[in-house]
Structure 1
Amino acid sequence: MLRGMKRGSLLGLPVISARTGKKMGVVADIIFKPGHQKIKGLVISSEGLVERKKHVPLEWVRTIGRHAVIVDEPLQNDSWTQGLSMGGNEEYGKRILGRQLLRGDGQELGLISDIILDPNDGSIEGFEISRGVIDDLLEGRYILPYDASNSISEDAVIVSMEQTQQIKAYNRGIKTLLDLK
């Protein structure tokens, strides 16, 4: 069973500078690059009169905790303002949510409802799968361990037939709680 942290749990966590101890903002999202095992970094929203977003590379993240994220910001402000440039096929984690999860033969498995990360190293452990409100309530949600070789497009994520064998129940639904068969 995966023991990581959901992307949704990261959102809103304060981001603290390891050097100064000051709050730099809050986590607004993750930066995800399809085909890679780890996230590329975090998107931080700074507070103030005008909201500004900064991209923080994973290398700058010292710790992702339950109550805060600690980052090693560079000494020069120029480096900090540049942060992680968004290029290539990186995208924000929120854009992955809601995509169809399809088996190689075209069978729909559900929708991606969250991304599960290992907070120790930023690796992507898996996708939480929703099969609809009624199924989620009755049976709970499911987890598909992440495989960097999955085909991720703008509309869907396609997984192999073999990988579907690894789908596991993640949380309990009403049926399990009531022990209905």
Structure 2
Amino acid sequence: MFGKGVILLRTFSALKGLPVYEKNAAGQIGKVIDLIIANQTIHGLLVDWKGFLRGHQIIPIEAICSIGEDGIILHQAEPCVPFFHRKKDWNTMCHRQCAIKGKPLLKQNGQKMGLVEDVYFEEESGRMLGIIVTDGWFSDITEGQKQIDVTTNLTIGKDALLVE
């Protein structure tokens, strides 16, 4: 609208469990189980691949043709990498959404903003734009969850996330 492109935002919770299909295939390839995150960017999806001895596969974000409410369509399944081949590399370079969920989000001054519940990212580029934090179910009911902008510096550590 009005000369600007539409930016589609997604959350991991909306993707988790979605079936994955190849554009030119009739059958389901697998289901999304996690996101691969590095440097505030979603680099890929971790998919529980169907088939004998297929296990978990990493789908690069570039391989995704479209993301819908009921499924994810890939251009082709070729660029997928078995997770066990790259597990050591991915664990040292990247974080998984499931690994950051529940970690505290802290400001640079050490003030706790809450616990990470979900992440927002731009569908086209995979760039993380926000984090949803919670202070617990009672606080979520009375005050609602907080959405924190992370377009500035975000550091994902072993025990916590730091935001400026």
SS in 1 for 2:110: coil
Q: Show structure 2 runs of 5+ residues with no match.
A: 1-6
Give the letter aligned to residue 31 of structure 1. I
- Take 2:108 and 2:131, find their aligned partners in 1: how far apart are those partners? 17
Q: Once the 2 structures are TM-superposed, how far is the Cα of residue 16 of structure 1 from its aligned partner?
A: 0.5
- Check if 1:32 corresponds to 2:37: yes
- Take 2:72 and 2:154, find their aligned partners in 1: how far apart are those partners? 29
Contact 1:65 1:119 in 2 (8 A): no
CA deviation profile, 1:52-110 (whole Å, cap 9, x unmatched): 111111111111111110112255xxx54558944242121111111101111111111
1:123 counterpart residue number: 127
- The partner residue of 1:101 within 98, 105, 108 is 105
Q: Once the 2 structures are TM-superposed, how far is the Cα of residue 30 of structure 1 from its aligned partner?
A: 0.8
> Residues 23-172 of structure 1 correspond to what in structure 2 (within 5 A)?
23-33=28-38, 35-36=39-40, 38-48=41-51, 52-73=55-76, 80-82=80-82, 85-86=86-87, 87=89, 88-147=92-151, 149-160=153-164
- Take 1:106 and 1:81, find their aligned partners in 2: how far apart are those partners? 38
Contact 1:127 1:144 in 2 (8 A): yes
Give the letter aligned to residue 18 of structure 1. K
**TM-score (norm: length of structure 1):** 0.75
Q: Once the 2 structures are TM-superposed, how far is the Cα of residue 8 of structure 1 from its aligned partner?
A: 1.1
Q: Show structure 1 runs of 5+ residues with no match.
A: 161-181
SS in 1 for 2:42: coil
**TM-score (norm: length of structure 2):** 0.82
Give the letter aligned to residue 19 of structure 2. P
Give the letter aligned to residue 62 of structure 1. C
Contact 1:64 1:120 in 2 (8 A): no
Alignment RMSD, CA only?
2.4
- The partner residue of 1:12 within 17, 20, 28 is 17
Contact 1:110 1:131 in 2 (8 A): yes
